[in-house]
Structures are given as C-alpha cells and as structure tokens.
Amino acid sequence: MHPLTDIGVVWGDDGVTAIIFLEGVKKYSNDSSPPMAIKKLLDSIRMFLDGCEVDFDLSVLDFGGCTEYQRRVLDVVSSIPRGSTLTYSEVAARAGGSPRSAAGALSRNPFPLVIPCHRVIRSDGNAGGYQGGVKLKKRLLEMEGVSLEGQ
C-alpha cells in the first residue's frame, strides 16, 4: 500500500493490459508471482509515487485494447515531461482530434500514472477530470511542482 493511492496492475501474456486505481475496491491477490518486467514496472510506479523522476518502460504495455486514435493520444501524453502540462486542446491538435475526443480517450487510459494523463488540464487552467478523482490529480501535479492557475 502506498500512502498516495492504491493501484493494481493487470497483465497477460502480451504485457500489462491495465493499471487501475483501487480506491474503494475490494482487494485480493493470489500466490502467483509476476514476471520480472512487471516487477520492474511496479518498482517504477512505487518510485514515481515516492516523488522520483521515472522513465517508464512502455514496452511492457499491451495497447491491444486501444483504438488507433486513443493510441495517438496516449503517445502524445506519454511524452509530457514531469512538472509540465498540456491542455486537452493541445493534445487533440497533436493527435488529430477534438479536445472532447482527447478527453474521452484519456478517460479510458488503461495505464494511468505510466501514461501520465494527470498532466493534461483544461484550457482555463482547471484540472479537468481524472480516473482516480480530481483530488488525486491535483496531488500528483503538486507532487511534480505544478501549480494550477484556475484553482
């Protein structure tokens, strides 16, 4: 358990298929041990939540459940550096869609934290939505040294 948030990692034969927030979710585990690549990803997530700058290994992620457009949005968002933000409009312009479609793609981001959708904010400087809740989004941004102007 990490003091910032509880997460779960789901993986299959082709890699990580989802990272989910477990706030309010009943938790269980079995005795199987994850592959080394998954262990490394978990260690990287722990380091990230501890405030360290981390370069996540995206090769362990399975994007098979993503649409072509969502993959473009996730590619844009994965390049946002720690301590920086882009607006939904900026992400949409780079991915070839509308701000609403970019927001929709990010609302279904199967890899939050690793694909840092918390770094995407509204054009007015407000946080916007987040799978883990707006409070967590703001905490993650503050942890990275980002101060939201519209708050």
What is the C-alpha separation between 136 and 22, in angstroms, rounded?
12
User: What's the chain's Rg over C-alpha atoms?
Assistant: 15
Positions marked active-site: 117
Distance, C-alpha 117 to centroid of its chain: 5
In this structure, CATH architecture of domain 65-143: Orthogonal Bundle (1.10)
- CB-facing half-sphere around the CA of 149: CA atoms within 13 A: 7
What is the C-alpha separation between 90 and 21, in angstroms, rounded?
26
Q: 21 Cβ partners below 8 Å, 6+ apart?
A: 5, 6, 7, 112, 131, 132, 133, 136
What is the C-alpha separation between 94 and 67, in angstroms, rounded?
16
Residue 3's pLDDT is what? Answer: 56
124-142 mean pLDDT = 92
Q: Are strands 15-21 and 7-12 parallel, antiparallel or unpaired?
A: antiparallel
11-36 mean pLDDT = 67
Which tokens go with 127? 């946080």
Which amino acid, residue 107?
A: S
Q: Is pLDDT larger for residue 27 or for residue 108? A: 108
Residue 1's pLDDT is what? Answer: 47
**Chain mean pLDDT for the chain:** 86
Q: Is the pLDDT of residue 32 over 80?
A: no
For the chain, domain boundaries:
7-60, 65-143
Q: Is the pLDDT of residue 146 over 90?
A: yes
Predicted TM-score (pTM) of the model is: 0.79
Q: What is the pLDDT of residues 61-111, one digit of tens each?
A: 989 899 999 999 999 999 999 999 999 999 999 999 999 999 999 999 999
